[in-house]
Amino acid sequence: MYETTILIAGAGPTGLTMAIELARRQIPFRLIDAGAAPFEGSRGKGIQPRTLEIFDDLGVIAPILTVGALYPKFQIHVGPFSLRAGSLGSCKRPSESVPYPNLWMVPQSRTEAILRARLAELGGDVEFGTALARFTQDERSVEATLSTGELVRADFLAGCDGGHSTVRKALDLRLEGESIDEKPTLVADVEIEGLDLREWHLWPFAKGGFAGLCPLPHTGLFQLTSKAAAVPAEIAGHRVGRVAWSSVYRPSVRMVDRFRVGRVFLAGDAAHVHPPSGGQGLNTGIQDAYNLGWKLAHAVRGGVGSLLDTYQAERLPVAAAVLGLSKRLLKTRSIKRGDATNQLALHYRSSPLSSGIALGSLHPGDRMPDARLEDGSRLFDHLRGTHASELVTPDGHRILIRPDGYIAQIGLAQTADYWGEPVRQIRPSYRVAVSGARSFR
Ligand SMILES: Cc1cc2nc3c(=O)[nH]c(=O)nc-3n(C[C@H](O)[C@H](O)[C@H](O)COP(=O)(O)OP(=O)(O)OC[C@H]3O[C@@H](n4cnc5c(N)ncnc54)[C@H](O)[C@@H]3O)c2cc1C
């Protein structure tokens, strides 16, 4: 019997984020994936501003920015006519409080490769070709059987194993919700001859139904979405060349009603399945893992179990809200996104971890905004890492910021330790401006 502290089933974006969070806290874990090799497709390509901030904290923002691009404008083709329309994403300048204001496109396989490389830097790796087959649990541990026949005993199991989750099924939890469209949608990464790679081409009335070709940055490929049964030889007169990857999915909106059963947790698509509209699925999974990682680390170090209860209390309402948004966007076929999808305003205000009173625009439970400090550094530079932070303003207000960047408390006394993570003090000696009207002294 192999003994570990945390077994992570699934090395998609959710499982990889979880592993990085544990690795950078020196918590032993095993990360297994049923796939024989890394996932190759572009699938979840839209990275939201809040996830970019998390990537900044995890130490992967530079390669993510290098391999990605802003979303292109739409070019809508109807018969002989072509109309230019807006873009799914914005093109804003960074502000003091929002360093990454725009939706950023990176093919999912590249995001995963960057997360794997970061995990390797931290000494971790993915065991491919190793599926979780089944498990049992009691008050002390989880015992898992892997597809290799190996038995593993762990303190906790994190089910990050996607929409068809073995973990979820074994817990007998159902994904409740609905399919938005019973007809499957084809998604594929393809080369197209003679088509402008700077625009997202849409044919609302293509032969066989709707077809879209979104250029994937720095790849020479387009992501095809279509109602066709298979990748066609040509799309609206443009010959399809190499097909690098293809798959089908049924857009649906579903989630479980529990994210935790005893020592077993669900995160990402294992707990909530999103339609691609609004680009929320991958982002919500990464944020689940970012929420759970430091809490699992605390529990493994012998901390009290009540912290683990806050995972579901915080993330389940967020998943429900995000699913409602994705469904509305899909049903209205809206291409206008505004700030609704950037996930910066998602908060944990009603969490048991949030206390104190609002200070100006700062509210316990909200994401702590970035700010420029007098020495030229950014507040986020000081938050980066696994520690918690205490911001002490020149006139004595204290703001405790969690390891995952949310405001835990406003107005409480100094503390050296936050759930086992050290607290670093930040004492700007002048008024800190947080973009526009936001400021605190
Ligand atoms: C066309 C399309 C476009 C999308 N666009 C966006 C977008 O723009 N933005 C966005 O945020 N999201 C988008 N999504 C959604 C996004 O792809 C998913 O939400 C995301 O992949 C979920 O990540 P995950 O790690 O939770 O699960 P997955 O990526 O599904 O990873 C699960 C992993 O678990 C492994 N696994 C499965 N069973 C087992 C087992 N028994 N044991 C061990 N390992 C196992 C699998 O091999 C896989 O590697 C899109 C999806 C589609 C289909």
Q: Which CA distances in Å does 145 have to 9, 133, 375?
A: 11, 6, 53
pLDDT(221) > 50 = yes
pLDDT at 278: 77
Cα(342) to centroid of ligand 1, in Å? Answer: 19
Average pLDDT over residues 101-109: 97
Domain locations along the chain: 2-67+106-177+252-332, 69-104+183-249, 355-440
pLDDT at 333: 66
Average pLDDT over residues 416-428: 91
Average pLDDT over residues 196-213: 91
Cα(251) to centroid of ligand 1, in Å? Answer: 13
pLDDT at 336: 61
Mean pLDDT of the chain: 92
pLDDT at 438: 40
Cα(108) to centroid of ligand 1, in Å? Answer: 9
Kindly report which listed range (108-122, 229-243, 404-418) carries the lowest average pLDDT score.
404-418
**Location of structure tokens 């026949």:** 149
Cα(409) to centroid of ligand 1, in Å? Answer: 34
Which residue among 8, 50, 108 is best mutated to probe the pocket of ligand 1, counting the most ligand atoms within 8 A of its Cβ? Answer: 108
Average pLDDT over residues 139-162: 97
52 contact partners, CB below 8 Å, separation of at least 6: 61, 64, 99, 100, 104
Cα separation, 255 vs 292, in Å, equals 18
Read off φ and ψ for residue 191, nearest 5 degrees: -90, 135
Which residue among 29, 43, 346 is best mutated to probe the pocket of ligand 1, counting the most ligand atoms within 8 A of its Cβ? Answer: 43
Task: Report pLDDT digits (tens) over 16-35.
Answer: 999 999 999 999 999 999 99
Between residues 429 and 381, which one has the greater pLDDT? 381
pLDDT at 440: 43
Between residues 199 and 3, which one has the greater pLDDT? 199
* Atom 1 in ligand 1: residue holding the nearest Cα: 43
Average pLDDT over residues 177-198: 91
Task: Report pLDDT digits (tens) over 401-414.
Answer: 999 999 999 987 67
Sheet strands side by side (includes 272-273): 176-179, 252-255, 272-273
Quickly state the pLDDT bin for 432 (edges 50, 70, 90). Answer: low
Task: Report pLDDT digits (tens) over 275-303.
Answer: 887 789 999 999 999 999 999 999 999 88
- Percent of the chain past pLDDT 70, that is, above it, reads 95
* Atom 20 in ligand 1: residue holding the nearest Cα: 282
* Atom 53 in ligand 1: residue holding the nearest Cα: 43
Greatest mean pLDDT among 68-77, 79-88, 198-207 lies in 68-77
Read off φ and ψ for residue 186, nearest 5 degrees: -90, 135
Q: Please state the atom number of ligand 1 nearest to the C-alpha of residue 32.
A: 43
Q: pTM for the full model?
A: 0.95
Q: What is the dihedral of CA 334, 339, 341, 345, to 10 degrees?
A: -150
pLDDT at 338: 65
Q: Please state the atom number of ligand 1 nearest to the C-alpha of residue 166.
A: 41
Between residues 385 and 412, which one has the greater pLDDT? 385
Average pLDDT over residues 49-74: 97
pLDDT at 285: 98
Between residues 196 and 206, which one has the greater pLDDT? 196
User: CB of 314 within 8 A of CB of 170?
Assistant: no
Average pLDDT over residues 227-232: 91
Kindly report which listed range (226-230, 270-274, 291-295) carries the lowest average pLDDT score.
226-230
- Which is nearest to 38 in space by CA: 10, 6, 9? 10
Residues in contact with ligand 1 by the CB-under-6-Å rule are 9-15, 32-35, 39, 43-46, 108, 131-132, 160-163, 166, 187, 249, 268-269, 274, 276, 279-283, 285
Q: Please state the atom number of ligand 1 nearest to the C-alpha of residue 45.
A: 8
Task: Report pLDDT digits (tens) over 315-360.
Answer: 999 999 988 888 888 777 666 666 778 999 999 999 999 999 999 9
Average pLDDT over residues 82-92: 90
Domain 69-104+183-249 carries which CATH code? Answer: 3.30.9
pLDDT at 436: 37
The domain 355-440 is placed in CATH, from the list 2.40.30, 3.90.320, 2.60.120, 3.40.30, at 3.40.30
Q: May I ask the CATH class of domain 2-67+106-177+252-332?
A: alpha beta
* Atom 30 in ligand 1: residue holding the nearest Cα: 162
Task: Report pLDDT digits (tens) over 1-11.
Answer: 888 899 999 99
What does 355-381 look like in DSSP terms, one character per residue?
EE--BTTB-TTSBPPP-B-TTS-BHHH
Quickly state the pLDDT bin for 168 (edges 50, 70, 90). Answer: very high
